[in-house]
Amino acid sequence: MFLNIIWAFIIYLFMNSCADQFISTLGLSKASYSKSSYNKSNNSYNTGSNINTNREGEAMYSALGCVSCHGQNGHSTDENAPSLAGKDVDWIVQQLEYFQSGERQNTYMNAMAPMAEGFERSIAEYLSIQNSKY
């Protein structure tokens, strides 16, 4: 857990200095994800290119190191870190805000949540559409 957070911090410093280039390297552009729409009724996210994911959220979930504790696709294999797959979008955003403000206390998350600033919703959307059962 401790090494994870150091890695996450190093990645954060890197991301901070070149977030835009990083996002465009991944083939993402502001235009491509602003077109996307979240479909609450069937819980899918359509990016406009028939890919049912939120590509920005998916990229940031990995890049910020969330994946190292919460697992691939939000399926945690670390007993200390809860799985996030299939959780409600608004609930995830709310938890991140609570960790950011310190209203919810956890050593790891109080350090991690501020790094997700600006990407809370896209990460939450990506996680919410992952199958919670496998």
List of residues contacting ligand HEC (CB under 6 A):
1, 4-5, 8, 64-66, 68-70, 80-82, 84, 92, 95-96, 106, 108-109, 112, 115-116, 123
What's the closest the beta carbon of residue 7 comes to ligand HEC, in angstroms?
A: 8
CB of 128 to ligand HEC, least distance (A): 11
In the bound complex, which residue of the shown chain has the CB atom lying closest to ligand HEC? 66
Distances, alpha carbon 43 to alpha carbons 31, 49, 63, 73, 89, in Å = 22, 17, 24, 15, 10
Is 5 or 28 the residue whose CB approaches ligand HEC more closely? 5
Q: CB–CB of 61/123 below 8 Å? A: yes
Compare residues 16 and 49 and give the one whose CB is closer to ligand HEC: 16
Q: Are 41 and 94 in contact (CB under 8 A)?
A: no
Partners of 45 in beta bridges:
38
**Pick 59 or 84: Cβ nearer ligand HEC:** 84
| Nearest Cα to Cα of residue 93 among 126, 49, 123 | 123
Q: What tokens appear for 110 in the block?
A: 């109080």
- d(Cα 73, Cα 51) in Å, to the nearest integer? 15
Residue with smaller CB distance to ligand HEC, 1 or 48: 1
Minimum CB separation of residue 50 from ligand HEC in Å reads: 26
